[in-house]
Amino acid sequence: MHILIIDDEPLARSRLRHLLGDCTPHGEHWTMSEAASASQALPPLSGPLPVDIVLLDIQMPGANGMSFAFTLQQLPAPPAIIFVTAHSHYAAQAFDVQACDYLTKPVRLERLQQALAKAKKQLPSDPGPQLAIAPWAARAGLGRRWCISRPSSKCSPSTPRRAAMCWKAAWSIWSSVTRTRAAHSPQLLGQSGLFATPGICRARGLVSPSARYCPTLASLTAAGGGSAQTFNNL
């Protein structure tokens, strides 16, 4: 779970940080980032670790929180937005940007916990073991959707039996990754000849693979991995 706090006041950020520390569920790993303005929030938002929840102040210098929330909603995978503000009169507008919750300062722990619980429900659910290996996996009748094979991988079996073996190996690596929540999962995933999307990593609470392991369709076809049609058919 990656939570980004955007507030121009350092004391307000530190208060939220401490409250978040107090409501971390046992055993769950949370990452927190901070930004003092909307413009400073862009690096963490475009960083390797996708942001799941944004705690967003409204009155800030530069772009205000409400207009920034509109920007966030345009993202392909928008994070859940929780407004944290001293003013109650923006609450109606918060509906327009599909905010998950609206907290007024000073924030109380119980209220923050409620908001986080709501936000978690909004996040994409765990896709589970829906790995897919392509295109040979598709031919072998294996799962599809989340992962695709590295075009140049050795793991490019010709027969369904080999495909199944490959699948099994990949699956065991994937399982070990998800069990250990290893910080270096991209490497492990790379070894398996699989790519994982940020979505699956987010759902698994993993560090997102770097862009190298999250190729776009265009980059895969450019790498000679097959036609766009092939990948669309996965």
Partner 1 sequence: MREEVELAKRYLDIEQLRFGPRMQVRWNIDPEVLSLPVPPLVLQPLVENAVKHGVEPSETPAHIRISLHRHGKNYAILTVTNTQAGPSAPGLGMALANVRHRLQLLYDMDFQMEQRHKAHAFQVQLRLPFNRTPAYHCPCTS
Q: Which is nearer to partner 1, 8 or 104 (CB)?
A: 8
Shortest CA distance to 68 belongs to which of 77, 76, 59? Answer: 59
Task: Considering only the stretches 2-10, 102-110, 113-121, 202-210, report the one whose residues sit in contact with partner 1 under the rule CB under 8 A.
Answer: 2-10
**Does residue 59 interact with partner 1 by CB under 8 A?**
yes
> In the bound complex, what is the minimum distance in angstroms from residue 184's beta carbon to partner 1?
37
Q: Token pair 């909307």 is at which residue?
A: 38
Pick the binder of partner 1 from 6, 20, 32, 37 (CB under 8 A). 37
Task: Considering only the stretches 5-13, 44-52, 145-153, 157-165, report the one whose residues sit in contact with partner 1 under the rule CB under 8 A.
Answer: 5-13
Cα separation, 171 vs 18, whole angstroms: 38
Site string for partner 1, 61-90 (x = CB under 8 A): xx----------------------------
Cα separation, 39 vs 32, whole angstroms: 17
> In the bound complex, what is the minimum distance in angstroms from residue 64's beta carbon to partner 1?
9
Contact 93/43 with Cβ under 8 angstroms? Answer: no
> In the bound complex, what is the minimum distance in angstroms from residue 35's beta carbon to partner 1?
11
18 exposure class (CB count in 10 Å sphere: 0-12, 13-18, 19+): exposed
> In the bound complex, what is the minimum distance in angstroms from residue 12's beta carbon to partner 1?
8
Cα separation, 75 vs 39, whole angstroms: 15
Contact 32/17 with Cβ under 8 angstroms? Answer: yes
**Does residue 106 interact with partner 1 by CB under 8 A?**
no
Cα separation, 62 vs 196, whole angstroms: 36
Residues of this chain that bind partner 1 (CB under 8 A): 8-11, 36-37, 39, 59, 61-62
